[in-house]
Amino acid sequence: MLKQHLQFKLSQKLSPQQIQLMKLIQLPTQAFEQRLKQELEENPALESGKAENENLEDNYDDTFDDSTDSESINAEDINIDDYLSDDEIPEYRTQTSNYSADDDEKSIPYAAGTSFNQYLISQLNTVYLSDEEWTIAEFLVGSVDESGYIRRPLSDIMDDLAFTQNIYTDENTIEKVLKIVQELDPPGVAARTLDECLIIQLKRKEPTPSVELATNILERSFEQFTKKHYKKLIAKYDVTEEQLKDAIGEIEKLNPKPGGSYSGNNRMVEHVVPDFSIKIIDGELELTLNGRNAPELHVSKDYNNMLQGYKDSKEKSKSQKDTVLFIKQKLDAAKWFIDAIKQRQQTLFITMNTIMEYQKEYFLTGDERKLRPMILKDIADQIHMDVSTVSRVANSKYVDTPYGTKLIKEFFSESMKNEQGEDVSTREIKKILETVIGEEEKKKPLTDDKLAKILKEKGYPIARRTVAKYREQLGIPVARLRKQI
């Protein structure tokens, strides 16, 4: 039996220009500058810098009408005066109070730009190795992960060398080359385990009694050390509590992730340029948008002159008409891009200003406990924009505050109810949890159960498993591993 169904589907399609605008909004400052450079290179009708302030509209106030021509050009009733107007200088350039001065721009690099793998290879070039040893060493460096470790067994590396490099060797030879690679910087690189990583670093230090005791503990009693069985260690090595404390102090100075300062083996680390700046002036918050987001753009005067020449000519040839169509397309694109930049700046400023006002207490004090629960919809509803637009601003933009440079999405958090039935930010609870743990007695650290009871006493009734989740998100270990002597 054949059945017919009538189904209605409501869908919204974005125009190509709307999609381009969304992409522009998403771009942080540096990427926006690259996009701007690309547009200037591709569209000769768009120029940077200040335009000459000529009021062309006064001179050319007639609308072009080609209806009397024998040949019609498909120019969709081009109004040349639309392109010859004084609208070359965008309105947003007069709104200087919203943007930071060019000489006040800040570029804050978080890391330098050589990949971890390249950094290690450059050091290998200073070591004398045979051809075979060099190939093995280069392969080992390629096996170092982003934390600085080699996680794969040497037997697997031996097989890979045979299959991919045509190098037939044994584990002892690989181990010998590995020791050479482990002499590279940063100290501890190319270790296979945490204890090996720490021991490599200790052996580069001056051999003081504390360093020697720390090395012995890591080499012979690593499990007891990780479980913080301090009394057993004092008895085993016949040392005082103070001597053990000094040795542990040496270990705590070491870097468990020697590759952590790099973004990855093959990635370059980008500099972070704040897109906004928030300052406190006379007790009030002042928001500025990085001046690099407000470029001076105008439509090319030459392209306007070409249109004027077409308008003044009495006889209009086919080639002239083809040219004016090309000019119109380029001028349309230039005007749209200038308008899109204006919309981008307005969207960025309005969104960040609303976030700033919403979290005013935090920005005035820097106290994370003052952060209000805030989700994307809260801001979207206030500025009457889509949640996706707010997300594009929050996920890719940074703001320079009196308390450091922050990723905007960090100010968003879910909420929960306190005992008074008020919404409180999960960020606020995490900050209180962090404070409680920071003030605990280190010889008797608080278990998750005890932490849950303390938070409940402070008016935050959350379960032990939620405490454990927040503690892990903060990167804080369990009570046993926080224990100190």
Cα–Cα distance between 122 and 137 in angstroms, integer?
12
Bridge partners of residue 286, in order along the sequence: 279
**pLDDT for position 101:** 41
Could you report the per-residue pLDDT of 147-177, keeping only the tens digit for each? 888 888 888 888 888 887 788 888 898 899 8
Higher pLDDT pick, 78 / 171: 171
How much is the average pLDDT of 402-410? 88
Cα–Cα distance between 126 and 438 in angstroms, integer?
45
Provide the Cα torsion 443, 447, 450, 454; round to 10°.
80
Answer yes or no: is pLDDT of 136 > 50. yes
Could you report the per-residue pLDDT of 235-270, keeping only the tens digit for each? 888 888 888 888 888 888 888 888 876 644 444 344
How much is the average pLDDT of 390-396? 87
**pLDDT for position 347:** 93
Cα–Cα distance between 396 and 270 in angstroms, integer?
13
**pLDDT for position 359:** 92
**pLDDT for position 114:** 54
**pLDDT for position 13:** 56
| 3-class state of residue 327 by DSSP | helix
State the chain's mean pLDDT as an integer: 77
The pTM score is 0.50
Q: Backbone phi, then psi, for 280, in 5-degree steps?
A: -105, 115
Higher pLDDT pick, 386 / 417: 386
To which residue do tokens 């369990």 refer?
A: 478
